[in-house]
Amino acid sequence: MTSASGSHARFSAPAKKNLGQHFLTDAGYIERIVMAVNPKPGDRLVEIGPGQGAITFPLLKKHGKLTAIEFDRDLIEPLTHAAQAIGALQIIHRDVLSVDFTALADGGKLRLVGNLPYNLSSPILFHALDHAASIEDMVFMLQKEVVDRMAAGPGSKVYGRLGVMLQAYCTVTPLFVVPPEAFRPPPKVDSAVVRLQPLPPAEIAVRDHRHFANVVRAAFGQRRKTLRNALSTVCDSAQIEAAGLRPDARAEQIEVVGFIALANLLASTHSE
């Protein structure tokens, strides 16, 4: 294993568990993430959780410019200091969940990157989804188990709300697995890097986000139940059938397009 040590000299504070701090130290995996991002001139890179700069500095060196969103105040000064000799680093000292990506994009599109704090990975993914129209792509490292859920299809034990919601709006491409030894301190589980590419608006079949989110939440809220029972507060059997689905099927058997068809049907009924 190799170490990307040089940039850590100015960061003496211990990792904070409550902020999900597991710093990537393996130069080989850092390089693979930078290659996956592969910044092009004009790209607007935004890193979530730069930490001690493991990914930040190599990206900054390659691209010259980067915006980073970091919540830990103890990291802001050392990051700012270390970046000075490398490139233009803009640091937003905020909780990423309070950052308005649409406003940050200012009419353009952002490329998000991050070794995410694992305790916040689902909220960050749903937050990004809310701003998908302003995002070109995302290269994220998450727990491997979460990446498996994001990419799962019907019939898989880990197919559920997260996968359906993301796949309705994005292509989800798992890239590679990263073992615990690549981090300091090491997490307890394997990690994985995934690319998410929001679909062009014309390819998004969901007509009403609220209905879609309600249907998916209800269907997987009680995943062992039939659709008829799990969705009883949202719609009736006739509507499930009208959307081309079997009321006695379970959520884990339904393709993403099936949930979209049902949500669109309900949205059109409610708007009449």
Binding residues for S-adenosyl-L-methionine, by number, are 22, 24, 49, 70, 95, 115
Give the per-residue SS3 of 117-186: CHHHHHHHHHHHHHCHHHEEEEEEEEEHHHHHHHHCCCCCCCCCHHHHHHHHHEEEEEEEEECHHHEECC
We find the least distance from the C-beta atom of residue 189 to ligand SAM, in angstroms, to be: 12
Nearer to ligand SAM, 184 or 209 (CB): 184
Of 71 and 101, CB closest to ligand SAM: 71
Residue 70 or 252: the one with the smaller Cβ distance to ligand SAM is 70
Question: Cβ-count burial of 89 within 10 angstroms (0-12 exposed, 13-18 middle, 19+ buried)?
Answer: buried
In the complex, the smallest distance separating the C-beta of residue 196 from ligand SAM, rounded to whole angstroms, is 17
CB of 36 to ligand SAM, least distance (A): 13
For ligand SAM, the closer of residues 27 and 199 by Cβ is 27
Cα 241 to the chain's mean position, in Å?
A: 33
| d(C-alpha 199, C-alpha 170), whole Å | 5
On whether the CB atoms of residues 162 and 122 are closer than 8 A, the answer is: yes
3-state secondary structure of 92: strand
Interface with ligand SAM by CB under 6 A: which residues? 19-24, 49-52, 54-55, 69-72, 95-97, 115, 117, 120
Phi, then psi, of 102 in degrees rounded to 5: -65, -45
Extract the tokens encoding 152: 């799962």
Enumerate the known binding-site residues. 22, 24, 49, 70, 95, 115
Closest approach, Cβ 67 to ligand SAM, in A, equals 12
